[in-house]
Amino acid sequence: MIDQFFAGLELALRMDTFVMVAIGLFAGMLIGALPGFTTLMAMAILLPVSFFLDPIVGIPFLLGIYKGGIFGGSIPAILVSMPGTGAAIATTYDGYQLTKKGQSRKALDMALFSSIFGDTASDIFTLIMIFPIALLVMQFGPPELAAILFLSLVIVAATAGRNPLKGLLMMAIGLWFSLIGTDPIGGVERFTFGLFELKSGIPLLPMLIGVFAIPEIVNVIGDRSQQIKSAGKVLGERLKLKELKRCFKTICRSTVLGTGIGVVPGLGQVVAAMMGYTAAKNASSTPENFGKGELEGVAAAEAANNAVNGPTMVPLLTLGIPGDNITAILLGAFIAQGLRPGPELFESQGNIVFAILIVMILANVLFLVIGYLSIPFFARIVSIKSSLLIPLVIMFAVAGSYVFRSDVFDIYMLAFFGLFGVMARAANFDVMPMVMGFILGEPLEYAFGQTVAMADGNFLQFAISDRPGMLAILLITPIVGYLLWRSMNKKMKPIIDNN
Amino acid sequence: MIKMKRFTTAAALALCVGMASVGMMSVGMVSTAQAADYPEKPISLVIPLGAGGSHDLNARVMTSVIPQYLNQAMIVQLSPGAAGQKGTNEVATADADGYTLLFTHNYIDQLQQHVENLPYNPLEDFVTVARINFAPIAIVVAADSPYKSAEELFAAAKENPGKIKMAHSGNWGALFVPAAQLMQANGFELNLVPYKGGGPAMQALLSGDVDITMGFPSTLAGQLSAGKVRVLATAGDERIYDDVPSFSELGVGGDVGFMHRVVLAPKDIPEDRLTLLRDAFGKLNDDKTYQRMMGRMGENIDYMSGSDYDKLRADQKEAYESLVKEITGG
């Protein structure tokens, strides 16, 4: 194994590999920054390019697009409050507030550093622990996933804010939105009002852009004082080492959480970002600053969602099973190169696997440089005059909603959720629990349906005798929920009294 | 310094506009011109399934080679949703001018009409351009499974109806239908547990959550050579693995357990354009680069002409209708 590692290192250190990784990183970052274009699309389109390259060049090229794309998604989230993916929702919260305070450059720097730290740490952990992780992954089936998703919902509800009733109401609305469309297991149509367009459910992207970006646009248009901001000042300073140090504990916590969540198949980046953010808020002595432009909030979310990446590669590399669409494309790239991921690949061509893992880690160093150099450029976007920026943002909101599925109906959805977001804000409702309810609702329902099918009518006995893991998670759920709610309440209470 | 700032601001603005125009371009060029020289603009290939799936990967290979036979680009457009109905409906309602094609499979094409109310009629709204390839399904158990042969499995399933768990990739999908067809032919009952795709279903088998699953040979190779799974039977008349019986040998004949990947066009497409497209796909099939790339992906090339496959579709419709009636008790 050690021999293979060094043979891999030798293979990895090639100039053309790094050139292609750099191209991939930059392309991924640009595409990820465009609302409506996903990393997945970019990888699918550029997949054939990798067919004609050496395995040690082609696969890292795709990995570069992947890494660049995930960070790219946080750029519009921070600059114009437009999360391009679910993973960037938690970043939107504090990132955009920092931009409003004129610290967009700082926020982008923090997003970059914490993303890369989370990614690198989880990659190294994966490289060392790949076989134990492979065993652990097998312990999580639909019953455990259902229990963890339910726990996540409870955590979101418990920490939703000062008014738990409002939070719960929004979450219920979100869960209801997730039910609209064709029932994922039975195939029955629900709440579609006979509209064919609603059969495939409510699209996520128009909802995200609608509830997060539209209210901000309305806000800026309504508030004329913002428009006279001078161009020079809005960029702000770069991130200081002192600030990075202050957030380091948070970054580490989020990395551990994200890596752990990455081990559970089917949870993914959205949950990781949310949990990292919640944990940071809970651990902070000043949780009231979260959501108002706290650098720690950006760090917590970005470190956590990137830390998911390492472990998600494990089922692909050790079993040859793609857990999601991104890894399915990577599987295609591997197979086209004559490399079939799976237990045998490590024995027969372990040096190539290690080489790819090593390039993954070295790519992060490269990314730090490319990202750091290009951030001032991206940050400039907010210095565009409001009279130009606002129409551009509106155009991106509409185009982004449309282009994802090329469906005009999605533009109506954008308008509906934009209105929803504006009304929710006016009535002082936080849209986050709604969005989380919507995102977690569908996989929760699916995993629960699978569990019921597996239990074959005898749920209690199934839980006790076959699935102690699920039972344990279900039993600690109310305790975790209560403790989080209490600690959050204690810290938040004095502020309410002061007001 | 001020000049510099202006420059970067202008550059940022240009970047914005640039990204926007790239976006607009990929939205697709709307053209109303109708010229005699077909095709005079890129052809869209709509896939009613998600990114990264086998259709997506197959299409990437097809569309990177076929332009030399069409003298135009072919652009993949993914339109997943409502179990494939969304993308299918888009093509059904698109202009039948040969610029919008559908890349689908037989279960979306012919089975769904029996389980749901569709806004289109598969046989009347579509005509086949070509069948690209097909994949025979295999019944798979874990290497340490008590079921050594398909007969043993079927007997056990008959004895304990609904006790044996099978992981499939979604209701009326590529793993569910063959299982239902086997259940119909042999008179047994399995507990069908849905998973989000063939990958998670295979993982469920390996982790012991379910007793059996199904898979296509191209996705099984790694698990087989590692000795993690055992194949009990494969679809069709011919054996695929020397020591594993085919479905016919087990008394299940006909078009059972095959996923056909097909390119369809709206029915009213002008005859000369359909011929041109059919020819192009025929030539694609003989292309060396195409063959090599498909081989690398682990996919076979089993081209069937559009007119031949259209006959098969009519048969599929009837077979699936009786299957659905039996399974749902309707």
Q: B25 CA to chain A: closest CA distance, Å?
A: 10
- Token pair belonging to A308: 């998911």
Closest CA to A287 of A106, A174, A158: A158
pLDDT in tens, chain A (499 residues): 678 888 888 888 888 999 999 999 999 999 888 887 888 888 888 887 887 888 889 999 999 999 898 889 899 999 999 987 788 889 998 999 998 888 889 999 999 999 999 999 999 998 888 889 888 888 889 999 999 999 999 998 888 777 888 999 999 999 999 999 988 887 788 998 888 888 888 999 999 999 999 999 998 888 766 554 544 455 678 888 999 999 999 999 999 999 999 998 888 888 999 999 999 998 988 888 888 899 999 999 999 999 998 888 888 888 888 777 788 888 888 877 878 787 778 777 888 888 888 888 889 999 999 999 999 888 887 777 778 888 989 999 999 898 877 789 999 999 999 999 999 999 999 999 999 999 999 999 999 999 999 998 888 888 888 899 999 999 999 999 999 888 877 776 554 444 4
Contacts of A395 in chain B (CB under 8 A): 20
- Token pair belonging to B2: 């001020």
Q: Which domain holds residue B122?
A: 37-135+259-328
Confirm if A148 and A471 have CB atoms less than 8 A apart. no
Could you tell me if B79 and B145 lie in one domain? no
* Residue B165 CA neighbour count, 13 Å, CB half: 21
Could you tell me if B116 and B165 lie in one domain? no
B12 within some domain: no
Could you tell me if B241 and B277 lie in one domain? no
Using only C-alpha atoms, chain A has a radius of gyration, in whole angstroms, of: 22
B32 within some domain: no
Number of residues that make up chain A: 499
* ipTM summary value: 0.83
In the numeric block, the tokens 């990798």 are attached to: A50
Domain boundary among B200, B218, B250: B250
* 8-state DSSP, A210: I
Q: Residue A284, Cα to own-chain centre: how many angstroms? A: 22
CB–CB contact B80 A200 (8 Å) = yes
CB–CB contact A453 B193 (8 Å) = yes
B7 within some domain: no
Q: What is the dihedral of CA A490, A491, A493, A499, to 10 degrees?
A: 170
Could you tell me if B298 and B210 lie in one domain? no
Closest CA to A89 of A24, A150, A174, A169: A174
Q: Are strands B258-266 and B100-105 parallel, antiparallel or unpaired?
A: antiparallel
CB–CB contact A187 B116 (8 Å) = yes
CB–CB contact B16 A392 (8 Å) = yes
Confirm if A418 and A210 have CB atoms less than 8 A apart. yes
Distance, in Å, from the CA atom of B8 to the CA atom of B11, rounded to the nearest integer, reads 5
Could you tell me if B236 and B268 lie in one domain? no
Question: From the CB of residue A119, how many other CB atoms can be counted at a distance below 10 Å?
Answer: 28
Closest CA to B137 of B287, B15, B240, B33: B240
Distance, in Å, from the CA atom of B131 to the CA atom of B105, rounded to the nearest integer, reads 9
Q: Are strands A181-182 and A189-190 parallel, antiparallel or unpaired?
A: antiparallel
B225: CATH: 3.40.190.10
B83: CATH: 3.40.190.150
Contacts of A53 in chain B (CB under 8 A): none
Report the pLDDT value the prediction gives residue B1, as an integer from 0 to 100.
44
Confirm if A451 and A460 have CB atoms less than 8 A apart. no
Closest CA to B282 of B130, B71, B133, B134: B130
Query: Which of B20, B83, B196 has the CB atom closest to A399's CB atom?
Result: B20
Q: Calculate the alpha carbon distances from A175 to A265, A463, B14 in Å.
A: 22, 25, 41
Domain tally, chain B: 2
Report the pLDDT value the prediction gives residue B13, as an integer from 0 to 100.
55
Question: From the CB of residue B24, how many other CB atoms can be counted at a distance below 10 Å?
Answer: 13
Q: Outline where DSSP puts E strands in chain B.
A: 43-47, 74-78, 100-105, 126-136, 138-142, 165-168, 191-194, 212-215, 229-234, 258-266, 304-305
Domain boundary among B250, B278, B298: B250
The set of residues, in sequence order, having a beta carbon less than 8 Å from that of B327 and lying 6+ positions away, is: B180, B183, B184
Confirm if A435 and A174 have CB atoms less than 8 A apart. yes
Residue of B140, B297, B299, B328 to mutate when probing chain A, most A C-beta within 10 A: B297
- Token pair belonging to B252: 């299940």
Report the pLDDT value the prediction gives residue B84, as an integer from 0 to 100.
87
Q: A433 CA to chain B: closest CA distance, Å?
A: 25
Domain boundary among B250, B274, B307: B250
Query: Which of A328, A446, A449 has the CB atom closest to B199's CB atom?
Result: A328
Longest CA–CA separation in chain A, Å: 67
The set of residues, in sequence order, having a beta carbon less than 8 Å from that of B81 and lying 6+ positions away, is: A199, A200, A201, A405, B48, B87
* 8-state DSSP, A499: -
Q: Is A202 helix (H, G, I), strand (E, B) or coil?
A: coil
The kind and range of the H/E element at A182 are: strand A181-182
Could you tell me if B56 and B110 lie in one domain? yes
B27 within some domain: no
Distance, in Å, from the CA atom of B296 to the CA atom of B301, rounded to the nearest integer, reads 12
The set of residues, in sequence order, having a beta carbon less than 8 Å from that of A138 and lying 6+ positions away, is: B203, B206, B207
Whether omega for the bond prior to residue A322 falls within 30 degrees of 0, making it cis, is no
Contacts of B222 in chain A (CB under 8 A): 319-320, 340-345
* 8-state DSSP, A160: S
Q: Are strands B258-266 and B126-136 parallel, antiparallel or unpaired?
A: antiparallel
Contacts of B207 in chain A (CB under 8 A): 138-139, 141
Confirm if A437 and A175 have CB atoms less than 8 A apart. yes
Confirm if A330 and A64 have CB atoms less than 8 A apart. no
CA nearest B81 in A: which residue? A200
B156 within some domain: yes
Contacts of B75 in chain A (CB under 8 A): none
CB–CB contact B225 A232 (8 Å) = no
Q: A320 CA to chain B: closest CA distance, Å?
A: 7
CB–CB contact A265 B77 (8 Å) = no
Distance, in Å, from the CA atom of A413 to the CA atom of A145, rounded to the nearest integer, reads 30
- Token pair belonging to B55: 């259709």
B230 within some domain: yes
**CB contacts < 8 A (A, B):** 192
Residue of B91, B196, B205 to mutate when probing chain A, most A C-beta within 10 A: B196
Confirm if B154 and B161 have CB atoms less than 8 A apart. no
Q: Is A144 helix (H, G, I), strand (E, B) or coil?
A: helix
CB–CB contact A399 B24 (8 Å) = yes
Contacts of A33 in chain B (CB under 8 A): 19
The residues spanned by each domain of chain A are: 2-229+240-498
In the numeric block, the tokens 């940022």 are attached to: B12
Distance, in Å, from the CA atom of B303 to the CA atom of B282, rounded to the nearest integer, reads 8
Q: Is A489 exposed, middle or buried (0-12, 13-18, 19+ CB in 10 A)?
A: middle
Report the pLDDT value the prediction gives residue B8, as an integer from 0 to 100.
53
Residue of A229, A335, A467 to mutate when probing chain B, most B C-beta within 10 A: A335
DSSP string, B78-146: E---GGGHHHHHHHHHS-SSSSEEEEEEHIIIIIGGGTS--SS-HHHHEEEEEEEEEEE-EEEEETT-S
- Token pair belonging to A435: 């969005």
Could you tell me if B276 and B128 lie in one domain? yes
Could you tell me if B171 and B312 lie in one domain? no
- Token pair belonging to A424: 């929710």
Q: A489 CA to chain B: closest CA distance, Å?
A: 39
Using only C-alpha atoms, chain B has a radius of gyration, in whole angstroms, of: 23
Query: Which of A201, A343, A406 has the CB atom closest to B27's CB atom?
Result: A406
Confirm if A224 and B153 have CB atoms less than 8 A apart. no
CB–CB contact B81 A201 (8 Å) = yes
Average pLDDT per consecutive 10 residues, chain B (330 residues; last block may be shorter): 52 54 44 61 90 82 91 87 87 93 95 90 96 94 95 94 92 90 90 88 91 89 86 93 93 89 96 95 94 83 93 93 84
Three-class HEC string of B86-105 = HHHHHHHHCCCCCCEEEEEE
Distance, in Å, from the CA atom of A153 to the CA atom of A481, rounded to the nearest integer, reads 9
B13 within some domain: no
B120 within some domain: yes
CB–CB contact B226 A378 (8 Å) = no
